Every structure is written in structure tokens, then in C-alpha cells.
Structure 1
């Protein structure tokens, strides 16, 4: 299956996920698919579920939501590569409070 076909299928079948940065207090990315987030920013599907359904912060910084949060401005939408780079940078600097947490 071609990349274009995969992209179209992901848009049709996927659920939209909004990603917000609590440091800049802005919407930084809109994903068409949870699977894309799992694969590209290396978030485990259980962690993503907890972030979406239990309002847990990812890396104590990012908010995932199934719905737009209108209190956050839509100014800083990142490209896919910029998002991946930002997440990798934050992961490198992240120091978990729970010592049992393993980073990828």
C-alpha cells in the first residue's frame, strides 16, 4: 500500500487527537490518528490512553485531548518533524519523579 493511501486511510478511520503544550500554552499539533502518535513520537498506547481519558500529562508537559480546548490559542502548529524533534528533546531532558518509569 502506498504512503498516500495509508495517509488517506488514517484520516478516514482515525480519531483526531489535539496536542497542547503547557509551557507555551498553545495547540501545537493536530493528529489524524492515535497510531501515528504511537509510532512517531514513541508513546505507548496505554500511556496515550491514560493521557486522553484520565487527563494525565505526557512528560509532565503535554496535554492530549480528543476535543479542542478553546482556552488555548491555535498559533503554533508544528510540522510532523518539528513535533518529533520537540518530543525527543523533552524526553532527553525529562527526569521522571517515579523511579520505576522507563523511558524508551
Structure 2
């Protein structure tokens, strides 16, 4: 079994993770881009960014590529109710990523 490791320098502070997440979302949206939308801790994936389920699958892959298996997006959302997934904010994901990184000693 192959263990994926984080790529590059990984910091567990919220500002760094939010910046990483914003870059991932911009990559997912491609030519449509963020259209002037700033990604903040309050930004909702569904309501504000109109990401679809396939976009969240792509995001899961980018998170694993960036942070390795330290951050398991599928496991994170599996513990949520449907309404929580629909209302998922960037901030909640950032907090989850930071907790995972800190638990793994990546401060």
C-alpha cells in the first residue's frame, strides 16, 4: 500500500490552509474562475461557489495531493448530515485540515 505524503511545505495555520483551498477552488473552476468572489472562512461551497458534487470529488483529490492522506475529505463529509454538506463552509473545512495536520505533528 502506498502512503501519500504532503507536497511541499505544509503549514497548519488557518490563513495558509485557506490560501491553499482558494487556489484549489480556482483550479477546479478553471476558465469560469472565481468571478471576483473572495474565498473567506464564511464562503459556502454550494450557495456561494455553486460547486457540484463532482467538484467536491475533485477537491478531495486535490486535498490529498497537497496534504497526503493526513486529510481525508471523504471521511470528513461521511460524518455529516446532508444539510451540513450542502451548507459546508470553507472555514469548517479549513478547521478540519488544521486539526488533521496538528494531530499529525505538522504545525
Pair member with larger Rg: 1
Question: When you count strand as a share of all residues, which structure comes out higher?
Answer: 1
**Higher-RCO chain (CA-CA 8 Å, sequence separation at least 6):** 2
- TM-score, length basis structure 1: 0.28
Question: When you count helix as a share of all residues, which structure comes out higher?
Answer: 2
